[in-house]
Structure formats: C-alpha cells, structure tokens
Structure 1
Amino acid sequence: MFLRHLTITLLAGTSLIATAVAQTAPNETANARAARNARAAAQQSAPPVQPHEAAQRRRDGAAQSGLTAAPTDFGRIDIREGGDGATPGGVTRQDIGGGYMIQEETPKTRSTVTRDAIDKLSPTANPYQMIEMLPGANVSSPDAAGLNGGNITIRGFNSDQIGMTVEGAPVNDSGSYALYPQEYVDGENISQVSLAQGAPDIDSPHIGSTGGVINVYMRDPSKTYGGLVKTTLGSYNKRRIFGRIETGDMNGLRGYVSFSRYHADHWAQPGQDDRTHIDTKWVYDISAGNRISASLIYNQAINNNYINPTLAQFHTLGFSPAYAGSLPSTFITGPDQSAGSAFNYYKMRINPFRNLIASAPSVFTITDKLTFDTVPYFWYGYGNGGGTSTLTENPIGTVSGPGTFWGNQRITGVDWFPNGIISSTNKGLLFNPSITETYRPGIINKLTYQLDDHKIIFGHWFERATHKQTAPYAYLTAAGEPVDPYGSGGIVVPAGQPGAGSLIQRRDTMTTTMSNTFFLGDTWSLFNDRLSIEYGLKQTFINRRVENFLPGATPVVTRNDTATLPQIGVRYRLTDEHSVFASINTTFRTTPNFALADAFSNTTGLKTTAANNTQSPEKAITFEVGHRYQGELINTSLSFFATQYRNRQVTTNTVDPSGGTALLTQSINAGRVNSYGVDFEIGTRPIYNFRPYLSAEYLRTRLMDNLPVTLAGGAQDYLPVAGKELPRAPRYQLGLGLDYDDGKFFANVRYKFYARQYSTFTNDQQIGPYGLMHAGFGYRFDDFLGVKKPEIKVNLYNLFDRRTLVGVNGVQTNALATRGVNGGIISGSAPTYYQGQGFAASLTMQVAF
C-alpha cells in the first residue's frame, strides 16, 4: 500500500500526468522493482533503517514527473529529525551534489534542491537564492539575507512570466503575476524546491506562466515529539531567532508550529528590514491511501527600499548609493515641501506587506484503482511599495495652470502643504503608496484511475481572485514619516465638488479574475516501465473584469481569454542507468490587469496610460530532448531546448486610442521571440565525504519583429530590434559547488558565473559578466542532556567582496536615441539595475530536542 500510495499525485497544483516511476508503479513487475530497489540501496551509505523508512529514503533518488499536491512530488518525505542518520535540520549527507540534484524521472527538464543544500544556506535565504545554482536560474539578489526579493529569469523569461506554487497554492500576484519570494516559507520548513525550466505541468494552477515553474514544498511534521531553536547574528546588525515545536504522532495526527523574527540594517545605509513570520503544517494519516494535510503561512514585514540605480548613477555615485538619511529644511518651511529632493528621504521609501497562504492538499482512495485529490487554498495579501507625490495647491475657483487632479478632475481647496493657507505657490509632499489588497480562494480537484498500463487523470481548477488597487494621499509627520506605513486614512474631495467625500487617489481599481481550467491526461507505461508516454490536454477559460473608479477613466474593461494547451512527453530507459526523454509543451499568459486600466497624471489630469483589451495572450511552445545518467556514484542530466514565443507583451508609447495626438503608454503585442540552448548538470554522491556539483547553460535568444512605436506628433515608426537578443538573458551561466560533510564538520563553497546581460531591446546598454562566490562551514556536536546534535555554522556571502551590478531591474526599449525603420528619432530611457551586496557574514547556533 505504501508503494502504491507514493504514486498518488496529491497536489493538483502542478503536474497531474505523473510518470509511472519504476519503484512506485502499481503495474511494475517484481524483477524490475527489485532491480531498481537494489540500485537505490547501493547508492545509500547511511546507517541501516527500517524497511518502510528505506522505501522513503529511496525517494530522494527518483521524482515522479508530476508536480503534485501533497507535500512534495517525491512522495511522502518525513524529515527524520535526529535519527536514521539525518540531522535535526534534515541533512542526510547522501543527496546528490550536496543536495542540488535528485534522480528525476519526468520527460522534460527539471532540477531540484533538497534539505542537504537548503539547511546549509543562510537561514534567511529565499527560494530564489535556494535554486540559484540550478541550470538556467538567473538570480539577482540585492541583499545577502534575501529579504528584499530581487528577481529571477529562466531561459529569458522574467519572473512575472514564471509560475510559482507553495504547497500547491499559486502565489504569483493575481493581477501582474509578479513574485515576492521573501514572503513565503521559512527556510527551515522547506523540504524541496523544484525548478521546471521549460514549462509548467498540465495541472499547474497558473494563467501567467509563459515560461517555467517553481514549486516550493514544505516539510512534513515529524512523527516524534520535539523542537528546534535557532539564532543568527551577522553583518549589519543582522539578528534572527527561529523556533519550532513538533507534536509528534497523536493517533495519526501530527503537526508543527514555528515562529521567526528578523531584523537587519541595510548594507547601503540608511534603511532596515523587519520581518515576523509564522508557519504551521498538520497531517492526518487516516489510513493507507487516505491523508489530509493543511498548512498556514503568515508573513508580516516592513522593509526600506534599496535604490536601483541607472548605469550613470552607479558610475557617478559609486557602489552602494542609498536614499537620503535626512530631510532638507524646506520640508518644514516650504513653500515647496519636495524641494531639495525631499522625496528621496529613506523613511518614505518603504515596503510594508502582510500576507497569508493556506492550503489543504488531501488524498482519498476510493477503490484500489481510483483516487481523489483535492487542494483547496486561500491567499490573502495587503501592502504597498511606499512612495510620495508632490501636489500643487489650487484655491477654490482655479480652472487652469498647475494643480492636483483626481483622474481628470481638478481638485481645489485642499491644503496640501498643511500650513492653514491655500496658495498656488504651495506644494505639499504627500505619502502616496500604491496599495494592493488581494483575496484569492481556489480549489483543484483531480481523479486518478489506474487502468492496466494507463494512469488516467481528469481534473478541474477553479479560482476567483479579487485585486483591489488604490493610491490614497496621506500627510507625513514633521519627521517625514508616514503616520501609518500601510497607508490607511486619506484625504477626501472637499464639499461642493463632484465626488465630494470620496478619497482622492492616484489609482483606484478593482480587478476580478475568474479562472476555470479542465485537464485530462494519461501516462502509458510499456515494457515494464522502460517506456513511459505522457500526453494530455489543458483547456483554460479566463474572465477578467477591471473596474476603474477614477473620474474620466473607462469605468469597466473586460477581457475573456481561452487557451487550449496540449502536452506530450516520452521517457525511455535504455538501461538501469541511462535514459532519454523528449517533450513538447505549450504555455500561455493572459493579459495582466494593469494593461486593462486607464491611468492619469495627478499634476495635469492628462491620460498617461490607455487600457487595451484587444491584446492576445502570450503563447509559447517548447521542445526538449535530453539524456540522464543515474549511476551509483555519478548522476548527470543534459537537455537541448528550443522555444517559439509569440504575442510578447510590452508597454510602449502610442497615440490615445480615444482620439487626439497626445502620446501615452499602452501594452502592445511586440511580436515573436525564438530561443534555443542547452542545460547541463552533474553531481555525485559522497566521495570521501565530498560531493561536487556543476551546472551550466548556453542560451541564445532572438527577437523576430521590430517594435512598433509612436513618435511625438503621432507619426508611426518601428524600433529596429529584430535580430537582437532578449534583455536579462545571459548567453552563458556556470555554477560550481563543492560540499564536505563527515557528520560532524561540514563545509561548502558555491560559485555562480553569468555572462553579460542586455538591459534594452536594442541591446545598446548592458552589464558585464560577473561571478560571485559564497561559502559556509560548521560543526555538529554530540547529543547531551537531551539536546540533539547542537550545531554552529558560519555563512559567508560574496567571499571576495565583489562590488558589481547583479541584474537588470527596469528594462527599457532603448537607452540611446535611435533612428527608427521609417527614419524617425526615437528617444531613449535609462534602464535601472540591482546592486549586489559586498561581503557579509553570519553565525548561526541551533539546538534540537
């Protein structure tokens, strides 16, 4: 029953046409199963374990192809805290490449990082930093701790084109598809993070994933009562405490609750980060094949923002430019509170956010051939990115000249510079955060039926997300701080004007997105599972409604999209060690909500962005073919890929579609992109306690169409970008890692190199190649007085203090003035970049009981 249970693809938040893996396939022959089990046993050098635990341990060596619901797609993995050769942090010392590889079985490219690697990173590392070493992961981190997010691109696709799930629940922004990795699970509670570089699986719950998908899986609760306490101290006044308590098994029910608190000053002063986080997960094993699990993640953080400089600013100001640490006197004396760049005061540049993720992936065995998986989930988020606006006062009766506008309506009679006098010479500096509040309930249901050599799945994903986005104005204190960092309150329209009593806002929209996806798939296993064929079809229906409450805006814009997405993959096992695979996958990304809303200047009342509900979804088709070697000592994965991508969505200048010649921005179809390349990784099991790992990627991208633009006066032209490369798409990446662990002393070193990256579509600005090296070492003491393996470790970030830009933050079409195809001069704009932190160190001490 246990082996059969491992085949159940629980978390329908990901791929549901799971490969019938040899050791878990119900129809596998005894000889085939014995051969694979013998190979897996030979690969393990940990102390002897009980038979049922040995079966669990083999799962580190082979993952099912589906990114499934319940707790991980590798089957049920229980962290054996303090026993069976694992450390309290879950390190087995056996995982391939020091925890950067597993024996994948999926017929497409995928890479996975496990506890053996995660536990040795800094305790504050976010999922981007955890997978940075994997092939194709182009990660930009502005801080060592990972508390400020950063960015990731994979094969040229940006983070808002990549899907992400946590315990099966989708966590991309439901409107823009942005990712915020610092908000998710504490590292101590993450079991694995997998990266499918090419495409999501057939059941992945995403409507904005043209590229690949990242899946984060929480560890299961221990079956033994206990706990873990950890404290970290480090550079820049870094302080963190973490505690977790485990209930142990209580008649089939087990769970844990953890709490962490973090504070650090910014390396580019002034500024600081504060984070409070709670995780809990519970599992109820009803009987063999029947299981309910539930997790809850709560995060609250208030961070100051780092500056993302232009190239000119970086060269002029040098490394670590930061926001201002003091206010100019004119902030108090006026008449222009923004004079002297008061808006760059660091206490106004904040990012407060709180969010909650709940998920309950569960599986029920209906018959010996039919199982039912369900994943209800709920995501809530509320926060903003800080920022200010400078508003000019208009006495009542003003009808022209500079002023303050709510949509296209002039607002008069407001004392923006609160000195009791309303004068057209007064300008107030107001806290004006872009607030987002999201409610996102959903459910994924799936039936799996085993019919001889076929594993047939049928399922449905439903979600209704509401996404309220506002930008009210609020007075700052005399010290230049927001009264409420979350932006509550606001200033209303004075009596006697249209909309009197309404909040004056820079934006005010409500997006409702209804997603319905049906999927049907089959895994056909032949020749005792030597040959596995996966094929399936996903049909998605998206209804998006954007209500815009600003005066002058189009009040309601709707967009209905549908996508038919077939997938097929083949895996053939040549021998027990050698296998080949090939796949064709289709993906899509529906139009983001910001493209469906008009926007206005709050100083002129003119429209600055026009809604566009005619834009087709982005679509891509990805071809992959590869080979894997899975030996007793060495494991390799090599894959060749090619992607054809069309309807690329880009924001550019255009003429107001409602009439006139005024220029504004609009999201448009920028045409096609072709890309191809190679991904490779190799790792070993322990060799005299050493485990090396190497990953590499070669990537070529090519823009196939010139970019339509509109010049001043309304003339049409094209930016000559055909034949250029995508921004944020380095041609080469190389990762090198080496782990040593003898059970007591451990050490590791990691190096990641990136080739140059363009920051514009015309390829007229770039950052050069760079590489960063990180390291860590520590010691585990013997148990004493009921304390299990007390541990001390040191993490070293940017070992050689490399001062460099580490990624592109804001892509532009062109940095320099460029002559268009039709002869017009197209002005340029400066891209912005992420600064990388210099050397930093942290010391972590932990005890378990």
Structure 2
Amino acid sequence: MTATALAAAGLFASQSALAQNASAAEGAGTDKPKASTAVAAEDILKEIVVSGRQRPIAGGLMIVQRQPETTNSISAEAIKQKMGIAGPYQLVATLPGVNTGQSDPYQMSIRYALQLRGLPMNKIGWVVDGVNAMDRAYLQPYSETYADNENLAGLTILPGSTRITDPVQTAVAGEFSMTVRDPDDKPGAQASYGYGSYKGQRVFAGIDTGLIGNTGLKAFGSISYTQAGTFALPSNAIGKRLHVDFKIAKDWGELGKSTLFLSYGDWSAVRSQAYSLAQYRADQRTGDFTAGNYLSSFNPQSNTNNYWKYAVYTRRNLLLAMNNELHPTDKIELHITPYYQWIFSNSPGESSLNPNSVYAGSQKQTVNTTGMFLLPNGNIPVKTNVLQRQFAAGVNSSAKVTLTPSNNITFGWWYDHWQMTQLNSFSPIAAGGDAPDWASTILRSTSGQAISGANYAFNTNINALSVQDAQSFLDDKLKFEVGVKYFIYRLGGTNLLPGTQSAMNFRFEKLLPRATVSYEINNRMQVYANVVTEARTNAPITTYPNTYNAATGAISQLGNPNARPETSVGEEIGYRYHDSLLTADVALFNKKLNNNSVTSLAYLNGAGVNSAYNAGGLKMRGATAELALKAFWGISPYVNGQYLWTQNTSNFQVGNDYLPTAGKEGVQAPKWTATAGLDFHHGPFFGNIIYKYTGSQYTTFMNDEKMPAFSTIDLGFGYHIPAGYVGKEPVIRVSVTNLANKPYLGASSSVQPNAVTTTGINGTVIAGAAPSYWLSSPRAIMGTFSTKF
C-alpha cells in the first residue's frame, strides 16, 4: 500500500462509525466517534491541515465524506496547486455538478457565473468561517473578497442541501462553505510572487506568531496585492485588488477555543461588455474579439463614447467573524459566532443627458451647464454611478445537548440585521474624459436636488430558529436526524425619489422541515438519504423599489411588494465506497422550486445592474458520480460527472399574456458536465492536468437559443527546490488555463423569455430579444515562486 493510500484509508477510518475495525496500518490511534455525531467537512479539512497525518485523495481534489448529504470538498493541497491569483469559483470548478465560467482567467473582472446542479450562485448559501458573507443587496457572493488562497484550509460544497444551523438565506441550490485555517502553533512566515498573461501579477506575504508564551494565543496576518487585465479589453484596462487577512485564536483548554477572523479588501475591477451569440460568431470569423467592447481612449468629438474607465467597478469591504466553540460540560457543546460586515461599492457606467430633459425620479429638474464640458450634440456626458453603502451585524448560535450515548438534540438561533442605501447619480465628464471616483461630484439641479434614477434605503431582520434530533441504532451503523427550522424575514424600506412610491415593506415566515438517514454497511460502504426544504428571500433592489429613467422620468423598474420568495424541496439518495484502491461517491437527486427567480444583466441609466424574472415552477432531477483511484507510480486519477434533467412547470407571463414555456427545459442548466484529471507527485516534482466538459444550455425560457457546449484543459506543474536555498520550503510552479487557446462563451449574463418573436397563448405577438454572454479568455500562463521561513 502506498503512502497516499495509507493516509486516505486513515482519513476514512477516523470518520467511520466502524473505525475500530480498521487495521492499525490504515489509521491506528483514532477513537470511535460519539454516537450520532456527524463529521463536518470543515472538521475534516482542518484535521488534514493541522495534524499533517492524512493526505487527501488525488492531490486534494476529493475527500472522504461521511455526512448524510452529498458533500464535495477540495483541500488546501489542491488549492496550492492552482494559481495564487485564482478565485474561489476556479478552485471548485473541478467538483461534480459545478459549472463555472468567467471573462478572465483570474476572476478579477466580476464577469463570471457559477451554477450548482443547474442553479445559479445567487441561490447558494455562502458561509465563510461560520458567517453569512454574501452581498445582501443583490444576493451575490463576491467571493473573491473573502480570504486569500494561502489562508484557506479548504472549500466545501453541499450541492443539494444545507446544515440546519448554518446562517443562510438563499440556499435553495445548496451551500458553499470556505474554511479559513487556524494560526500555526510554531512561528513562521511565507511569501510568494506570481507573474503571468494579461499583465497578471500577485504578491503575497504572511506571518504566523506561533503560540505566544503561556497565553494560549496564536495569530496570523497576511497582505496581498493583485493586478490583471482582461482578454478583449484595452491593455491599459487593469483591475487591482489589495487584501488583508488576520486571525487570532485562543485555546481555553477543556472549555474550548475562540477565534477572531478579519478580512479587508479594496478592489477595482474592469468589467467586460457582454456578447450576443451573433457578435461572438462574427468575432470568431475575424479573430478580433475587441469589436463591440470598450475603447482605450476618450474622444471628445464623439457623441457616444465607450471608454473603459467608466466600466471600473470599485468595492471596499470588511468582514469580522468571532467563532466560539465551548464545552461547559461533557454533554453540552456551544457554538456562538457574532459577526460584522461593511461594504462600500460603486457600479458605474456611461451615459449622456439632454440638459433640457433631466429628472429626479418622476419630477423634471433644471440644471445649469455653465462651465461643463458638452458633447457636440449639446448633451452632458456623464459617468453613471450606482453607489451603495451596506452593513450587516448578527450572531449565529447553537447548542448541542447529549441526552444519551445514542441521542443528541441541537438548538439553533441565527439573527441578522442589514442596512443599505443606494443612490443612482451622474458625475459630469471633463473634456479629457476624466470623471471622479466614488461619485464625489454629482450632477444636481439648480435647487440642489440630485439628478437620479434610484435613491432608496433598506433594512432587513432575519430570525431563524431551529431544532434537530439525532438518534443512532445498531452500534452507530444506522443514524437518523429529524429537524425543523422556522425562518422569519422582515424588510422595510423608503424610496427617497419624487414619485408614487414611498414606503416598502415585506414580511415572510416559513417552516422548513428536514430529515436524513445514513447506514454504514461496513467499514467500506455507506448509504444515505435525505429530504430538505429551504427558502430564498428576494434580492431587495431587484424586487421592491421603483427606479426611473433620468432622461424621461418614466419608470424603469416597477417595484413588486407582493413578490413571493423562492422555496424548494429536495431529496437525495447516495452511496459511498472507500478502500485502499478506490474512493467513489454516487448520488441521485430530485428538487422542486416554487417562484423560481432568474437574474439577468440589466442597465439603470447606463450602469450595469441586475434584474430578476419570476419563472414560476421548476423541476430538476439527475445523478452525480465522483471517483478517484490510489496513486500508481505517483499518478492519481480522478473523474466526476453529472446528468441533469430540468423542466419548467409554468408558462412565462409577459404583460397580459403568457409564453408557452411549461414543459420546456430550464435555463442555464447544462444536461451533461464532466471532469477528468490526473495528479502527479514524484520526489520534488508535482503536476496535474484537468479536463472539464460543460454541455450546451438554454438561455431563453422558450428554448429557442442555446449557449454552445465548451471544454477546457488546465495544466499545472512545479518543483520543490531543496530547503536552504531560499527559505525552508521554496517552490516554483507554472499554471496554464485553457491550454487549447480558444476563446469561448463561458457563462450567460442575461437570459430572455424568447429570442424569436412568438405568439403568446392569448394571441399577443411577443417580440424576441437576444440573450447575452460572458466571453472567456484563451490560454493564460502564470508562474509563481513561493517559500516559507
């Protein structure tokens, strides 16, 4: 048996309810877990990193799981083999059922998408070190702002379910959890530098204090700087990201431990234009994909400019999470996690306003253009701002009480309070093309009123109360969990613009039951099944406020105060097998969504924002499989695949008519996805190659346009330089994405009801509209040198 197989078997044994039957060579020294105690993927990942005793399978692309739901993870080992600049979407792209696409190889441009079993990223619950970290305005994750890769113990996806006490409000598609590593016990430091295609650069430096005397305290801190351009954009269009992570841990002995994690980011991202299928095919023929994208300079003699500087999204964010794991008695386990999040962002665009026709909401305004630069047609060129200020604070807590050796009960309470303001304003552009950042100067009327298409404030309060009972039988072979969560959501808001809308209020309550069962057939095989219900609140700013066209005063978005949140019920049946040669997971799943909300790219007075469609009901069924073999001659193979069947159960409403969409396939849901990879370790050399296939997917509810299927090959290789040359663990690695060097459409940016003009059920002629897509880049190469001290 190889060292890899020994370690993998030991990992399995440490989690199995029948660990006492495992041989000493396959994981001696692990105690039998307490009855009815599920092993969380985060605990597995931390054990791999902290203990150093166990090595994950296929270079960390697969980890043995024992939870009673489909769970997929990648470890820190796999993350280290990726580009340091890579974003979380790229890190999990190899997992089964995950479909990703982005307009740049570094996840720096925000033009990306991630689907889990055909459902998009704004339907996933995003948890970072135990807290809800998503942007609550759009319900988008912005996951590249959470933590640097070097500080991750691993990433875990639950593609069909969630854990009952986790703080999620959007998890009808499942859960994405990021585990931040704990500080090291010994002092040390690490540093790296990477350089690559499209002017990509990344510098990282971090330090661990080690245990500080006899205080039980230890900490780490790190800082990184990243910059990169984007394919098909001007070479001077560079995105930048400054990021800081800090974590301090305190060991309380038998009582437990506490950690405080801080993450801060200052990020500017150059966002590419979306492409229609026709534009993409035309550019394919010429080989010039810059056509229709942003220009490298401003032309003061033109009435229309498409200057890249007005597409620079800026974002600053702070996240604080304090985890407390306490054991006041041997029968009580407490988890208490207070947190705080602050976000300041601007999503800009470009437009021009006729000074004789400008509005604040529905009210016409008068502006003074004296001293302003005007276009040849007399219009005021403006940078459109969508400026948002947000903060959230809350606490997630749970208490697990062991009632008997085979039974425990867990109580949970999550409270979250969120506030935000948004102002859609206009900053006049100077003759040279300059416009102020962060909307520091905006266009106002002669009476001082800001010219605006949106100006509102929101606040929400969430209370989620849960209880779950876990019971085991047959010497822990058979385990049942039955639970229920009561989800309470309150929204209040004020529209500050002149118009018919002032107050915005919404209340939602939902009882969410669930049940799981698992059975350990023997120390190699496990079966499980579950039924889980979840709810997803609506994105506040794409649902409730009226917004206006600042050039006409007409309503651009009509708020819908009666929009119902999404709900889902899903079932899974799974089988797992593990021995010294083979690890395999197979799952069948079924899910039904009500009030399926589909988000698309839209524009508010020239600025890119999100809009949402209510597509009614959606059914989904499918199967996933994940398999890895032990290392042969240092080579570990890994494969996974998914089949997905979807069906809309509702006709799509357009005005007073309906498109006949019932019975058609769901959008953004490829029927087939597959991954195959090889991981290689031999002496100081290592490498991996990953092939990923994503099938075609419909981008209209009428199924009259598809995004083409695509496949990619990514390659990575490196060498461990002998210690002592530059630090303790010098490593040089090269990463190559899209080895075939062909641009492709990687994700849909906007779906449409129909691409072809269609007659509705009631006889109305409904005009078609073309969906749009994000263009993914050809080959990118990055070399990285890293070391530890």
> TM-score, structure 1 length as denominator?
0.85
Is the counterpart of residue 703 in structure 1 residue 703 in structure 2?
A: no
- In structure 2, the residue matched to 1:179 is 141
Is the counterpart of residue 444 in structure 1 residue 413 in structure 2?
A: no
Is the counterpart of residue 602 in structure 1 residue 550 in structure 2?
A: yes
- In structure 1, the residue matched to 2:301 is 330
Cα distance, 1:780–1:493 mapped onto 2, change above 3 Å: same
- In structure 2, the residue matched to 1:374 is 336
Is the counterpart of residue 546 in structure 1 residue 546 in structure 2?
A: no
- In structure 2, the residue matched to 1:765 is 705
Is the counterpart of residue 95 in structure 1 residue 65 in structure 2?
A: no
**Cα distance, 1:492 vs. partner?**
2.8
Distance 1:195 1:567 in 2: 19
Deviations 1:790-828 (A, max 9, x none): 110100111111221111111111111111112221011
Aligned letter for 1:505? S
Is the counterpart of residue 131 in structure 1 residue 92 in structure 2?
A: yes
Distance 1:747 1:113 in 2: 16
**Cα distance, 1:479 vs. partner?**
2.5
- In structure 1, the residue matched to 2:441 is 489
Distance 1:24 1:451 in 2: 22
1:800 match: secondary structure: coil
- In structure 2, the residue matched to 1:728 is 668
Is the counterpart of residue 140 in structure 1 residue 101 in structure 2?
A: yes
Distance 2:500 2:267 in 1: 33
Is the counterpart of residue 224 in structure 1 residue 186 in structure 2?
A: yes
Alignment of 1:520-669 (within 5 A): 520-594=467-541, 595-649=543-597, 669=614
Number of equivalences:
756
Alignment of 1:71-470 (within 5 A): 72-74=42-44, 76-77=46-47, 79=49, 94-149=55-110, 150-250=112-212, 251=214, 252-270=216-234, 271-318=237-284, 320-321=289-290, 322-330=293-301, 339=303, 341-342=304-305, 344-394=306-356, 403-415=357-369, 418-419=372-373, 426-452=378-404, 453-470=406-423
Cα distance, 1:39–1:540 mapped onto 2, change above 3 Å: farther
Deviations 1:189-238 (A, max 9, x none): 11110010102221221222221110001111111111101000111222
**Structure 1 residues without counterparts, runs of 5 or longer:** 1-20, 43-50, 86-91, 332-338, 395-402, 496-500, 653-664, 711-715
Deviations 1:92-111 (A, max 9, x none): 7x311221211111111110
Aligned letter for 2:480? I
Distance 1:720 1:675 in 2: 19
- In structure 2, the residue matched to 1:833 is 773
**Cα distance, 1:22 vs. partner?**
8.1
1:410 match: secondary structure: strand
**Cα distance, 1:254 vs. partner?**
0.8
2:58 match: secondary structure: coil
Distance 2:527 2:62 in 1: 17
2:421 match: secondary structure: strand
Deviations 1:368-397 (A, max 9, x none): 101211011111111122112311112xxx
Asked whether the 8 Å contact 2:696–2:706 carries over to 1, the reply is yes
**Cα distance, 1:285 vs. partner?**
0.8
**Cα distance, 1:160 vs. partner?**
1.0
**Cα distance, 1:176 vs. partner?**
2.3
- In structure 2, the residue matched to 1:516 is 463
Distance 1:36 1:639 in 2: 25
1:639 match: secondary structure: strand
Aligned letter for 1:102? I
1:244 match: secondary structure: strand
Deviations 1:148-197 (A, max 9, x none): 24110112211111111111111222122112122221111111100101
- In structure 1, the residue matched to 2:21 is 35
Asked whether the 8 Å contact 2:342–2:392 carries over to 1, the reply is yes
**Cα distance, 1:303 vs. partner?**
1.8
1:616 match: secondary structure: coil
Distance 1:416 1:77 in 2: 67
Cα distance, 1:256–1:667 mapped onto 2, change above 3 Å: closer
2:27 match: secondary structure: helix
Which range moved further: 134-143 or 520-529? 520-529
Cα distance, 1:289–1:820 mapped onto 2, change above 3 Å: same
1:34 match: secondary structure: helix
Aligned letter for 1:329? P
Asked whether the 8 Å contact 2:358–2:451 carries over to 1, the reply is no
Asked whether the 8 Å contact 2:512–2:533 carries over to 1, the reply is yes
**Cα distance, 1:412 vs. partner?**
1.1
Aligned letter for 1:74? I
**Structure 2 residues without counterparts, runs of 5 or longer:** 1-11, 601-609
**Cα distance, 1:66 vs. partner?**
6.7
Distance 1:602 1:460 in 2: 44
Distance 1:264 1:234 in 2: 9
Aligned letter for 1:352? T
Cα distance, 1:329–1:203 mapped onto 2, change above 3 Å: same
Aligned letter for 2:93? E
Distance 1:844 1:774 in 2: 16
Cα distance, 1:783–1:578 mapped onto 2, change above 3 Å: same
Aligned letter for 1:327? F
Aligned letter for 1:789? E
Aligned letter for 2:495? N
Asked whether the 8 Å contact 1:97–1:693 carries over to 2, the reply is yes
1:74 match: secondary structure: helix
Is the counterpart of residue 677 in structure 1 residue 622 in structure 2?
A: yes
Which range moved further: 508-517 or 282-291? 282-291
Asked whether the 8 Å contact 2:621–2:645 carries over to 1, the reply is yes
Aligned letter for 2:312? I
2:77 match: secondary structure: helix
**Cα distance, 1:781 vs. partner?**
1.7
Aligned letter for 1:520? V
> TM-score, structure 2 length as denominator?
0.92
- In structure 2, the residue matched to 1:471 is 424
Aligned letter for 1:418? M
1:726 match: secondary structure: coil
RMSD of aligned C-alpha atoms? Answer: 2.5
Which range moved further: 470-479 or 189-198? 470-479
- In structure 1, the residue matched to 2:750 is 810
**Cα distance, 1:406 vs. partner?**
0.6
**Cα distance, 1:23 vs. partner?**
4.7
Distance 2:403 2:45 in 1: 21
Cα distance, 1:427–1:787 mapped onto 2, change above 3 Å: same
Please list every run of at least 4 consecutive aligned residues from structure 1 whose deviation after the TM superposition is greater than 6 angstroms: 665-668
